[in-house]
Amino acid sequence: MDSTASTSLASLSSLWDEVFGTQPDPDLWVVIATMVAALAVIVPHGVWRVSRNAITIAHEGGHGLVALLTGRSLSGIRLHSDTSGLTVSRGKPTGLGMILTAAAGYTAPPLLGLGGAALLGAGHITLLLWVATALLIAMLVMIRNAYGALTVILTGGTFLLVSWLAGPQVQAAFAYAVVWFLLLGGVRPAFELQAKRTRGGAGDSDADQLSRLTHVPAGLWLFLFHAVSLCSLMGGGRWLLGL
């Protein structure tokens, strides 16, 4: 084996170890500080109007991923500046695949946060960043409007830059902040939907579509969204805090 091939194999081995290996947990104060930082971009309404775009990416990505997993054909995803979104898939308009696809939106951000917390709890900080980058790149292929493409490119670019250029401490802080954001930010949309429905709005929401598909009251689907987000927050929070 020549020196070039040997060097390439060594580089690949090093990259494999870096991505799939484990990294040390950050100090507890970093974990708490990233939680506070996540709350700071979730609680204030003005900031939330901007940061909610990231939750919309996860929401619509959840619709799209489950549509593909259930055998539906994904036509495209659109993300709008008012933080709304639309995922269009083709297939049978009723049945389990359509139900799971419709249910995936509000549950995707907290469940992604829970999965991310599991990876961080196991010390896989770099793997989390790479998986998130790969998912964003895959989603970009299905984006069908300029604003959506710009949002996903900026988000994916941030992950890519942190993954390649940042040091271990910065990567850890960024990863924890992202997962806290998904866990905490995944709770708020269900309450916003509940408030809209109380005022007589959001008649074509995911909960209402699920009600028409299953003949189960929309309020029960809304309860499911609440249960998934709150349970994910409790479980993921315990992993992140090392409890």
- DSSP, collapsed to helix, strand or coil, labels residue 87 as strand
Q: What is the pLDDT of residues 89-115, one digit of tens each?
A: 999 888 999 999 999 999 999 999 999
Quote the pLDDT of residue 164: 87
- Spatial CA neighbour of 127 closest among 63, 61, 179, 56: 179
Quote the pLDDT of residue 60: 97
- Spatial CA neighbour of 26 closest among 241, 180, 179: 241
Token pair, residue 66, equals 């489950």
Token pair, residue 82, equals 């008012």
142, 63 contact by CB (below 8 A)? no
% of the chain residues with pLDDT over 70:
91
Token pair, residue 77, equals 């995803």
**Measured at the alpha carbon of residue 196, what is the angle toward residues 86 and 110, in degrees to the nearest 5?**
60
| pLDDT classification of 198: cutoffs 50, 70, 90 | confident
Task: Sketch the domain layout of the chain as residue ranges.
Answer: 25-240
Q: What is the pLDDT of residues 155-183, one digit of tens each?
A: 999 999 998 888 999 999 999 999 999 99
CA 121 to chain centre: 17
CB atoms within 10 A of CB 25: 17
- Spatial CA neighbour of 142 closest among 187, 223, 85: 85
**Measured at the alpha carbon of residue 184, what is the angle toward residues 179 and 189, in degrees to the nearest 5?**
120
- Spatial CA neighbour of 100 closest among 240, 206, 3, 243: 206
Summarize the confidence of residues 136-164 as an average pLDDT.
95
**Measured at the alpha carbon of residue 130, what is the angle toward residues 48 and 153, in degrees to the nearest 5?**
50
% of the chain residues with pLDDT over 90:
82
Rg over CA atoms, the chain? 19
Token pair, residue 43, equals 């609680």
Quote the pLDDT of residue 12: 59
Quote the pLDDT of residue 149: 97
Please name the residue that has the structure tokens 């469940």. Answer: 111
Which pTM was predicted?
0.92
Summarize the confidence of residues 14-36 as an average pLDDT.
82
Summarize the confidence of residues 8-16 as an average pLDDT.
58
